[in-house]
Structure 1
């Protein structure tokens, strides 16, 4: 039996041929089935079984890839960490099955709210992470705020009763000039998440966005020369 490409990397659909030309060669069929099973197992290893989105392992791999992309392209990557407020009360008062429904409900809202290129993952428990490729801190703030509002305004229906959920969010951004690890970026976003909790929950916290100088130094100097001392180099 020959294989058109390396078994360890070829997809399950790669053509397998029997060396003696036997139709429906059992060995070829077995290898094809093993490939399909391997592909399925690979997906399961990276997927959270409850919500169907990426799990912690998938999140770390995706974030590492986006940071590498930032280093190549110079475009920043933002990370949003999100935690459901008072989730223990949800489990205590409504039961763990409803708690699971709440996690699925939140996942559905996330997938409908973020862009197709964004990467929502379940970080663990009731905490989620959303990777925003090619997104500055300034641009990520309204995204996080929109997520917060959508979740707050879309309660989960539980047998005709409304279960209102709110979330706290923290944002951190990786820029080309940053010299921090994936773990440090996650820690930054988590710290802002905890700050949101301390600020009363149901809010978004982040570093102060960088100021944007619309007028260049050269333009300021020209204006200063045109209009006199009313505008100095310090302005």
Structure 2
């Protein structure tokens, strides 16, 4: 069975969403295997250099990152082919508001990202959450990444979002620490498995229903 799975990546501007999508969510675990080898410092330094070269690149309106997994194993043990589409959505909520219904159509999950050290990000993230709450299906998986930029100074006026108690939060997200990168990738994979599990179950029910209808 082949499935296409759409995941949204949302949050305030300059939160690091595109970096996460490009370097972490769009890679398979094998692509990050060098992180588990502390001796392989040269490749890790190159990886960090690539991350830093991204800078604060604004996205508008949407950037789609795709990855195919040919042997994605579900909780049931079934193996499927999955085409993951990560929709990296512009953080400019005012400009995006009238486009969100179209963006959310067909999405089965959402990754919320904000920078806990930046002033205004906590409040903006709550606005994003409220906007998407009624547009995404109730079964959509949601996860939160408080993403810290390297060597960033904490703003003493930064406010933490209120939604942190409502969805799963991945702690200590830092793209310059090996364990943190692996944890972010692992958490995303676990979320993806829940999404694809539900998607696979629905597809099987639809196929059984069609087969039953064809017997009459």
Q: TM-score category by the smaller chain?
A: under 0.3
- The TM-score normalised by the length of structure 2 is 0.26
Which structure carries more strand by proportion? 2
Larger RCO (CA under 8 A, 6+ residues apart): 2
